[in-house]
Amino acid sequence: MASLILAGGKSTRMGQDKASLMLQGQPLLLRVAQVATQVSDRCHIITPWPERYQTMVQAQLPAVQWIREHGLGHGPLVGFAQGLVAIAATESTPNWILLLACDLPNLDPQVLGQWCGQLPAVKSNILAMVPKVGDRWEPLCAFYRPAILPFLEGAIAQNQTAFQALLNHLPVQPIPLTAEQTTMLYNCNTPTDWQTVIDRL
């Protein structure tokens, strides 16, 4: 299994670069990458700005592979599609991709490891295994088969780049969540969100 971290957002609502936010002495992107390397064989980061982030990640995680994202502001579904294409072009295609946002401060490698253990039992027609809270998917901490790529490309071609709509029309296995696991999916979009993370430490 490979992992792909999305670090292409403009962080408009945060007012500063989310990937570079410091938590317990480490940039948020590095923390997410450390978890990703614990649960996957290969870790990739896709971003329009590899040079911006390599200095904060490379020293501790030299095996991380970098993918340059083309275009700005197209959203995570487009970044995911570009990442899948790049991964397939450079190495043997993994059975599953763990897709992660770069702004997940509460990631738990043990929980992700438990979810990874469920993947071999997923039926072959299922394209993704995604946490679900109520009626909403949590697509940026989820597992995808590479075979989902044509569906991503089809959605992009029709300018329909919302993950929720796409997943609602594909064979997806939901991951049921405990209350504690739901907090693991907390992401940071605004200064208020970030302050909530700091207050919980």
Q: Give the CATH number for residue 149.
A: 3.90.550.10
Question: How remote is the C-alpha of 17 from its chain's centroid?
Answer: 17
* In the predicted structure, residue 124 carries a pLDDT above the cut 70: yes
The domain tally of the chain equals 1
Confidence at residue 21, expressed as pLDDT on a 0 to 100 scale: 84
State how far the Cα of 49 lies from the Cα of 100, in Å rounded to an integer.
Answer: 17
Confidence at residue 184, expressed as pLDDT on a 0 to 100 scale: 86
State how far the Cα of 79 lies from the Cα of 92, in Å rounded to an integer.
Answer: 20
What is the SS3 assignment for 66? strand
What is the SS3 assignment for 80? helix
Quick one: pLDDT band at residue 99, thresholds 50, 70, 90? Answer: very high
Domain that holds residue 16: 2-200
Burial of 10 (0-12, 13-18, 19+ CB in 10 A): exposed
Confidence at residue 13, expressed as pLDDT on a 0 to 100 scale: 56
Question: How remote is the C-alpha of 19 from its chain's centroid?
Answer: 12
Q: What is the pLDDT of residues 46-94, one digit of tens each?
A: 999 999 999 999 989 999 999 999 977 689 999 999 999 999 887 688 9
Confidence at residue 142, expressed as pLDDT on a 0 to 100 scale: 98
* In the predicted structure, residue 18 carries a pLDDT above the cut 70: yes
Whole-model pTM over 0.85: yes
Contact 47, 7 (CB under 8 A): yes
Beta pairing, strands 136-137 & 128-133: antiparallel
Q: Please count the other Cβ atoms lying within 10 Å of the Cβ belonging to residue 166.
A: 22
Task: Give the angle subtended at the CA of 22 by the CAs of 17 and 24, to the nearest 5°.
Answer: 160
